[in-house]
Amino acid sequence: MNFMSIYANIYNWTSHICKIFFIFNLREFKLKKMSKINQIIENIKKKNFNDALKICEKIENSSNKEIILNFKGIINFNQGLLIQAENNFIESCNIKNDFIDPMKNLYALYMGSKKYNKAIFYINKIYNLDKKKPDIILNLAYAYELNNEFNNAIKYYNEYLDINGNDKKILNQIGCIYQNRNEPEKALNYFLKGYNLDKTDKLL
């Protein structure tokens, strides 16, 4: 299995929420294609987007179309062509509905443009494919929080805490939600849990 990743931050939320990255997943490419794929990646790194796009057009076929469309979406995003990027990511998802990479990219794109309902749709699809990854659960919770769906946000923050119960910042985050909902007893419960994990942290 061959795997290569390039990370390009779209949107930096808070220090304790995991960042979303564009992922280039090459596991479905044959070795003979790797040199061309590496050329695409290097051109994107160097901001040679037109050259990267030309290579995509050259090697695209029915066996790799969903992956090439994901690349095209990444290129479009970096060119500021957000509608084209969105369309390429969606088409990639439609070809292969369990291909997580374009779903992650759509989630990041929609979070960046504050289209939280759409972001939730795609992060839920990812979550349903893999319910055990803490970063996915955390991003799902955060999307619900920004969309003012606080019950769902609390639900998934707590699900994340079932995996990583020592994350004091998430305990504090839940406390803040309860505080903003005027539920001081519940808020204090979570604040104290976080404080007891690190009594030197003055932010808690």
The answer on pLDDT for 19 being more than 80 is: no
Q: What percent of the chain shows pLDDT beyond 90?
A: 68
* Confidence bin at 33 (pLDDT 50/70/90): low
3-state secondary structure of 185: helix
The predicted structure's pLDDT at residue 14: 31
**C-alpha dist (Å) from residue 132 to 106, 126, 141, 143, 161:** 21, 11, 14, 18, 12
| Separation CA 41–CA 107 (nearest Å) | 21
The predicted structure's pLDDT at residue 38: 85
Structure tokens at 75: 């290129």
The answer on pLDDT for 6 being more than 60 is: no
* Confidence bin at 23 (pLDDT 50/70/90): very low
pLDDT in tens, 140-167: 999 999 999 999 999 999 999 999 888 9
Q: What is the mean pLDDT of the chain?
A: 84
Residues 22-50: what's their mean pLDDT?
A: 71
The answer on pLDDT for 4 being more than 90 is: no
Higher pLDDT, 13 or 114: 114
- Contact 35/54 with Cβ under 8 angstroms? no
Q: 0.85 exceeded by the pTM? A: no
Neighbouring CB atoms inside 10 A of 203's CB total 8
pLDDT in tens, 117-133: 999 999 999 999 989 89
DSSP string for residues in 37-97 = HHHHHHHHHTT-HHHHHHHHHHH--TTTHHHHHHHHHHHHHHTT-HHHHHHHHHHHHHH-T
Structure tokens at 49: 């987007």
- Contact 45/6 with Cβ under 8 angstroms? yes
The answer on pLDDT for 56 being more than 90 is: yes
| Separation CA 130–CA 137 (nearest Å) | 9
pLDDT in tens, 160-187: 999 988 899 999 999 999 999 999 999 9
